[in-house]
Structure 1
Amino acid sequence: MLTVPVRQLGEAERSAVERILDRDPFAAAQVAERVAARGLSWWRADGRILGYGSRRQVEALCWLGGHLTPVLASPPAIDAFAEQLGGEERTCSSLVGRADAVLGLWDRLSSSWGPARDVRPNQPLLATETEAPIAPDPAVRLVRTGEVDLLFPAAVAMYSEEVGTSPLADDGGRSYRRRVMELVRGRRAYARIVDGEVVFKAELAVVTRRTAQVQGVWVAPAWRGRGIAAAAMAAVVRDALARVAPTVSLYVNDFNAPARRVYARCGFRPVGTFATVLF
């Protein structure tokens, strides 16, 4: 029996949820963006938030939508969330968040939710609030709406390399293309385009009032090893800080040494460790 209950939170508890999200602005960014956009009403949200703690004080959260993300989850909270979720069929495509909580949940849920396609236990979470100490690439700019057809193949290639599956598999890529278009229209997609080819791309996939989280960083294979990534990322950081949010953040696989060197050159510092479980 659970001594502290887990319950689904609603709009009446939004202020408590936002206080918790503010305590971990980089790791909780994806959840914070969704709450800001859709609130906690079940009929508006694209997922649900479970809370751990007494009626008077919520101590930890667990977002369950397309992804599962725990926020400020202590070991007792992890146990409680796992007990609640273990009796449900898995509907999410991944677990992602701070490594201790994600791996703790996976240890308890793997017998009922597994097997996983991939487990990435060590993904440095990085952030910066200052422009890069290197010159930005002036050719990196926001992608225009008329350039989605140029960006989309690069986005598919990045997704396939990073996630290990194709975003075209389920519906021929229609939903993924809509997401790419949303990022372009929201002025959150960057690229360097040479002779009609995207040679670098990145997106502000998550934006909150506290941070802009960069995802989808990709360099065309023929352009790798030429040293374009650092200056390109410096351009992204510069624009994001000037126009979007007071900090820029991202997480990266620990084994991706070239990317980690790029981010270090751009002034990113460690602010934690993520883990991801992919299904």
Structure 2
Amino acid sequence: MLTQTTTRVLEPSDLDAALAVLDREPVANAFVTARVQVAGLDPWRLGGEMWGWYADGMLESLCYAGANLVPICATPRAVRAFADRARRTGRRCSSIVGPAEATAQLWRLLEPSWGPAREVRAQQPLMVADRLPDDVTPDPYVRRVRKDEMETIMPACVAMFTEEVGVSPLSGDGGLLYQARVAELVGSGRSFARLDRDGRVMFKAEIGAATPRACQVQGVWVAPEYRGRGLAAPAMAAVLRYALADVAPVVSLYVNDFNTPARAAYRRVGFEEVGAFMSVLF
């Protein structure tokens, strides 16, 4: 029996307890929940460790430690414990991302040993929608990307990632992991785009994480030459329609607070702010 407080790496036998914690906040935790539901808690399949923080023998908080470090339902005491473990193991992640309050505390504790960060995005509104808008007609030309269109969608995905994150996803391994992830989303029918008459991508977005209770839209991008033409809101309405019909009853996304046009487009489609994320990029 575990007593008082302790932190440890969770094992496959802890799956039910971990899912119960994740289920407390199905929207905010959609990304990690989706991974755990598919891969369980085995680090090789999950792509990282799941740390658990216990109080009086009960699992109360989690932290996913993989390519990203993600605090989950993390209390202030749990965050301190996770920071201690992260300092001991050293930085292995490319970012810290999660609910703003816990992530800010985690970064304050880790910055002296892990800093400086390449960029800190302290407020990224978390937005949700559970119905189609009344006054925005979904763009009929937005559709699922076909498996034979990888060469068409890949340059747009690279452009979006580079613009959003500040580094190319093709660095390091030459883009093999990133290309595999794009192919996975296309193959599962969760990649959407509108093409122009020349077959070039005008708009694209993906449903990056999906659980029975919520899904998360990511990678929203409008080609520079088509920006400012009112394309985004109808295109997002089309993605929302697909998501609600085929994936989950609640659709979420998070966006940089300084991206005023995107936030306005999402609000037009009916997305409402329900919280905030924070990202620390290395």
TM-score (ref. length: structure 2): 0.96
Per the TM alignment, residue 55 of structure 1 is displaced from its structure 2 partner at its CA by 6.3
Q: Mapping of 1:1-279 within 5 angstroms?
A: 4-54=5-55, 56-133=57-134, 134-194=136-196, 195-279=198-282
Give CA deviations for 1:108-136 in whole Å, capped at 9, x if unaligned. Answer: 01111121100000000011111123110
Measure how far apart 1:44 and its partner are.
3.0
Runs of at least 5 residues in structure 1 that lack an aligned partner in the other structure? none
User: Which deviations, in whole Å up to 9, do the C-alpha atoms of 1:216-252 show, x marking residues without a partner?
Assistant: 0000000000000000000000011001111110000
**How far apart in 1 are the matches of 2:14 and 2:211?**
19
SS in 2 for 1:7: strand
CA shift, 1:185, in A, is: 0.4
Unaligned residue ranges in structure 2 (runs of 5+): none
* Separation of aligned partners in 2, 1:267 and 1:43: 39
CA drift at 1:43: 4.3
Cα distance in 2, alignment partners of residues 168 and 82 from structure 1: 30
- Provide the C-alpha distance between the structure 1 equivalents of 2:203 and 2:164, rounded to a whole number of angstroms: 15
Kept after mapping to 2: 8 A contact 1:30/1:206: yes
Residue type at the aligned position of 2:217: V
Counterpart secondary structure, 1:44: helix
In structure 1, how many angstroms separate the alpha carbons of the residues matched to 2:21 and 2:12?
A: 15
SS of residue matched to 1:201: strand
- Cα distance, 1:171 vs structure 2: 2.0
> What is the CA RMSD across the aligned residues, in angstroms?
1.3
Q: What is the CA–CA distance in structure 2 between the aligned matches of 1:236 and 1:164, rounded to whole Å?
A: 25
**Partners of 2:96 and 2:8 in 1: CA distance:** 19
Counterpart CA distance in 1 for 2:55 and 2:42 is 20
Structure 2 CA distance for aligned equivalents of residues 231 and 45 of structure 1? 35
Aligned partners of 1:148 and 1:181 also within 8 Å: yes
SS at match of 1:135: coil
The alignment partner of 2:256 has SS state of coil
> Structure 1: which 4+ aligned runs deviate by more than 3 Å?
none
TM-score normalised over the length of structure 1: 0.97
What percent identity do the matched residue pairs reach?
51
Post-superposition Cα deviations, 1:160-189, rounded to whole Å, max 9, x if no partner, equal: 000000011112222211111111001000
Q: Which moved more, 1:223-232 or 1:49-58?
A: 49-58
Count how many residue pairs are aligned between Structure 1 and Structure 2: 278
